[in-house]
Structure 1
Amino acid sequence: MTAVWFAALALLLAGPVPAALARARWTWQVPRAALVLWQSVALAAVLATLGAGLASLTLLFTEQPGFPFLARHGLLQTTLNGLTSFLVAVVTVRFWAVALLVGVRTRRRRNRHREMVDLLHRRESTGEVDRAVLGESGVRVLAGPGRAAYCVPGVRGNRVVLSDGVLQELTAQEVRAVLAHERAHLRARHDLVLEGFTALHAAFPRLVSSRSALDTVRLLVEMLADDAARRRAGSLPLARALVQLASAPGGDGEMAVGADAATRVRRLAQRPAGECGAGDRALPRRGLAVTVYAVAAVVLLAPTAAIALPWLLTSWDFLTR
């Protein structure tokens, strides 16, 4: 029954657990720790899936398949083992196929996008803010009345793309906040985090997977970039810029997040940048972060170890007979 328990754990970590965790609002106070917890849940789901596959293979190699197996374990366990093997095969193939497909398509799209913004980049300055932005490395300014601000990550070079509308309508402080936000995405490689969750969401069947994981992780990475930006430029300029750009279309790592913009603005108003380590609220927030990190370690290690260790001991006894 080890394979069945592994499969049950994988399904639990792919559906009900993310759905419940997505409803929590305390994660907004410690987005970095919450993101680690989300990654632990996702990795534990992958490990449990692989464990179910290995446990199924162990039965096939240690016992005779077909009627001898059915006679020894009964119809229920034989059926569950067969369904588990089928689920593991589907999830494993879909995960690696989607991961490869998403990676290839995303990098091709980013390469084309990078070439396009380099080609359309406006190099003539029309003002003090414009001149300062054009002088920064990796920044591209596109002509047009629209308001767009986003980043294009990549191995060949990162780009932060701004439109003329942003430079004309935002103040110098707000533009600095926008640049700090997008560069925070690039430094932390949030695009890779989102790619992993995209592949994991697509790997599990829709009936058992939860889209809340992908949506919540997207919001958390935006909050992390917000925290980095307000430490450099302040909360008020960032909030003003976010309001201005809330309805603007963008690319990878764009500031606009639709309905989540109001949530992020309210969060920026709660705690000034640079004060997370001072005041009476610092210790509860720090304690919450430590607790979340501990829970992430337990989620990753405890359930898998509780099932894996007995299976490993049984397999070792069989091999050393």
Structure 2
Amino acid sequence: MTTPLLLGLIGLALAQPVPALLARMDWPYRAPRAAIALWQALALAAILAVVGAGLSASLWLVVHEGVPNPDPAAWRVALHVAFFALTVVVVVRLTWSLLSVAVEVRAARRRHRAMVDLVGARDAARRSVRILDANEPLAYCVPGLDARVVVSRGALDSLSPEELDAVLAHESAHLRARHDLVVDTFTALHRAFPRALRSDAALVSTRVLVELLADDHARRRTGTTPLARALVKLGSRPAPAGALGATSTLVRRIDRLESTTADDGLRHGAIEGAACYVLAAVVVLGPTFTLAVPWISSAWTTLS
């Protein structure tokens, strides 16, 4: 009983309380790329732990102290059903959410690209840029194989040439690195767990981290000051559904730009990045080698 119980508890902990605790810490945001790897490790470990709990519970139902048990007690059956049901729910929801997110997001982006192509003006110097005739300053990108960068007339009027270059570099970084795939994957993982067992922290934090990664690229291209000024002028207006753009974390982004420069940002985040990668490895490999591998060895011995 120890293995399925521990794996089940680990899976539930990694699905809710651990992400909520990590999201309140500031140090992972100093190394956004490594922090994304840590969040991915937490999600993967949570899924593996829940699946492992269901599989190990199946063996525990029919084996008692290493000996086959053809007539298990009713309480063993009840516990087995509970563990296995949680596993089935998570696997089914994960499969469905991956498919539904892919279909929904692709459709939303296709509609939005068609809309901006229809109502927006093509930028003469940049083929993928569309200019909307709107006074509100905004800028965002619509990812995909036929990507778009959308900028309003209000943004063009309020931004200097250097600031506009910083904004375009930021959006281009999103498109080139396919940050949308990272966000879409976390959206699907977020939906995989039932509402009562999941935390919004992973999805929210990932959206912030991809913005920080794009900020790092933009300030290496144009400098910190133009980017910071552009962020202030554009504000924190959310992008349309399916697009990538400003989030509500303007203060965090500007504070990070002020605390590190384009040249020393990686050096300042080296310790935090190493810590993120070490924790990611521990989260994934720890339960695997301490619980899953011994269980597999025991199961093989029992079944053979």
Q: Is this a same-fold pair by TM over 0.5?
A: yes
Cα distance in 1 for partners of 2:124, 2:82 equals 59
Name the counterpart of 1:128.
none
Cα distance in 1 for partners of 2:50, 2:102 equals 22
Cα distance in 2 for partners of 1:302, 1:109 equals 39
Cα distance in 1 for partners of 2:255, 2:124 equals 31
1:121: how far off? 2.7
Name the counterpart of 2:134.
144
1:247: how far off? 4.2
Secondary structure of the 1:51 match is helix
- TM-score, with normalisation over the residues of structure 1? 0.87
1:192: how far off? 1.3
- TM-score, with normalisation over the residues of structure 2? 0.91
- Of 259, 263, 275, the residue aligned with 1:274 is 263
Query: What letter corresponds to residue 7 of structure 2 in structure 1?
Result: F
2:30 matched to 1:29?
A: yes
Name the counterpart of 2:287.
303
Name the counterpart of 1:55.
56
1:142: how far off? 1.5
Cα distance in 2 for partners of 1:85, 1:225 equals 41
Give the length in aligned residue pairs. Answer: 298
Unaligned runs of 5+ in 1: 124-132
Secondary structure of the 1:269 match is helix
- Of 111, 124, 137, the residue aligned with 1:134 is 124
Alignment map for 1:78-227 (pairs within 5 Å): 78-123=77-122, 134-155=124-145, 157-227=146-216
Name the counterpart of 1:7.
8
Cα distance in 1 for partners of 2:54, 2:185 equals 21
Secondary structure of the 2:136 match is coil
1:249: how far off? 4.3
Cα distance in 1 for partners of 2:17, 2:30 equals 23
1:144: how far off? 2.0
Query: What letter corresponds to residue 70 of structure 1 in structure 2?
Result: A
1:189: how far off? 1.4
Q: Report the aligned-residue RMSD.
A: 2.0
Name the counterpart of 1:126.
none
Cα distance in 2 for partners of 1:274, 1:253 equals 29
Secondary structure of the 2:141 match is strand
Name the counterpart of 1:42.
43
1:172: how far off? 0.6
1:163: how far off? 1.0
1:61: how far off? 7.2
Write out per-residue CA displacement over residues 148-190 of structure 1, whole angstroms, 9 at most, x where no aligned residue: 21111113x1111111111111111111111111111112211
Write out per-residue CA displacement over residues 266-317 of structure 1, whole angstroms, 9 at most, x where no aligned residue: 111111212336xxxx3x6323322221221111111222111111101211
Cα distance in 2 for partners of 1:247, 1:299 equals 34
Cα distance in 2 for partners of 1:22, 1:247 equals 20
Name the counterpart of 1:261.
250
Cα distance in 2 for partners of 1:177, 1:202 equals 34
1:60: how far off? 6.0
Distance change (3 Å), C-alpha of 1:61 and 1:118? farther
Cα distance in 2 for partners of 1:220, 1:253 equals 16
1:84: how far off? 0.8
Write out per-residue CA displacement over residues 7-36 of structure 1, whole angstroms, 9 at most, x where no aligned residue: 211101101110110011011211111111
Unaligned runs of 5+ in 2: none
Q: Is the 8 A contact 1:43 1:300 kept in 2?
A: yes
Kindly, what percent of the aligned residue pairs are identical? 46
Write out per-residue CA displacement over residues 181-211 of structure 1, whole angstroms, 9 at most, x where no aligned residue: 1111112211111112112222212222111
- Of 47, 53, 69, the residue aligned with 2:72 is 69
Query: What letter corresponds to residue 152 of structure 1 in structure 2?
Result: V
Cα distance in 2 for partners of 1:200, 1:288 equals 25
